[in-house]
Amino acid sequence: MTERNALAHAKVNLNLVVQSTGGDGYHPIRSLALSVDMADRLGMSISDEDLFECSAEELNHEDNLAWRALVAYRNRSLTHRPIALRLDKRLPIASGLGGGSADAAGALVLAKEYFSAEIDAELEIAADLGSDIVFCLQGGFAMLEGRGNDVKPIHPMPSDFALAVVTPPFSLSTGAVYRRWDELGEPVGPSIGGDDLPPSMRDYPPLRNDLYPAATSLEVGVAEWRDMLERAWSRPVFMTGSGPSFAGYFLDRDEANAAAAAAPAGHRASFATEPVGSGVVLL
């Protein structure tokens, strides 16, 4: 079989409501999640020996979530032939955009092309490896609850906005952000509502990210970048996931492109993106 390729789309949390730690040690959440068309690209092919290559040198090792997902799927199949997996990163690393989870979902979808495993193996593996992977497999627009792997699709997909996304020049550990949120006494994040939201989002309660205060406590630059972007764009912006990426709503891609181009200097990434109905697309 020749190489198969897939796009693994980023995830944006339009809101993220966090609750106290449960008996399992995890924080239950309630989050509106959206797939957007910024994506990493994966390629998979049969090989003489196992091989994993990643364009981001710091991720080029077998602990990578995409490679772990592939191996887990292969271990549940009847075929154990060697595979080459190539990962071309376009999504910024440790940015709150779900890049690692998207890559793992892409690897699971590609693995189905090469191995025969039991029905729903990819969903079970996704839940074992990371909560966001379940959503990234399905993609689209959904409410995430529990540990994030209780995915409730929402229809129709919003189509009345584009997003400008900026990743500041630092990264944040998801685990560290959640721990600081606990230490701070479980604060509520700032919200965006009313006319500051696109019409498709106005039927929801004001959208907020409860991890924002924890992120600013760990890295003062989070608040500084939010202030700079709100001044540059003349509108509220929101942090996605555990940060540090920020996004703002715009009428269309052209307007979002102009906003991304006007972002303050020094960022790790700046781009325009739009909602997309799937988490992974085979090419």
For the stretch 93-107, pLDDT in tens is: 999 999 999 999 999
Is residue 231 predicted with pLDDT exceeding 70? yes
pLDDT of residue 179: 96
- Among 73-77, 206-210, 235-239, the least confident range: 73-77
Q: What is the CA radius of gyration of the chain?
A: 19
Catalytic residue, chosen from 11, 37, 40, 210, is 11
- Is position 11 annotated as part of the catalytic site? yes
The conformation of residue 150, written as its DSSP 8-state character, comes to: E
Give 114-132 pLDDT, tens digit per residue: 998 777 889 999 999 988 9
pLDDT of residue 34: 98
Domain architecture of the chain: domains with CATH: 4-155 (3.30.230.10), 162-273 (3.30.70.890)
Is residue 108 predicted with pLDDT exceeding 70? yes
- Among 110-124, 138-152, 192-206, the least confident range: 110-124
**If you search the block for the tokens 């609750």, which residue do you land on?**
19
Short-list 36, 179, 188, 190, CA closest to 98: 36
pLDDT of residue 22: 81
- Among 72-86, 139-153, 244-258, the least confident range: 72-86
Short-list 192, 189, 212, CA closest to 202: 192
Mean pLDDT for the chain overall: 95
- Among 9-13, 32-36, 125-129, 208-212, the least confident range: 125-129
**What are the beta bridge partners of residue 162?**
250
Higher-pLDDT residue of 92, 23: 92
Please give the share of the chain, as a percent, with pLDDT higher than 90.
89
Q: Is the pTM of this model over 0.85?
A: yes
φ and ψ of 20, to 5 deg: -60, 150
- Is position 112 annotated as part of the catalytic site? no
DSSP string, 230-245: HHHHTS--EE-TTSS-
Catalytic residue, chosen from 37, 40, 103, 132, is 132
pLDDT of residue 245: 98
Give 19-62 pLDDT, tens digit per residue: 999 888 889 999 999 999 999 999 999 999 999 999 988 887 87
pLDDT of residue 1: 63
Q: Which helix (H) or strand (E) holds 108?
A: helix 99-114
Sequence letter at residue 111: A
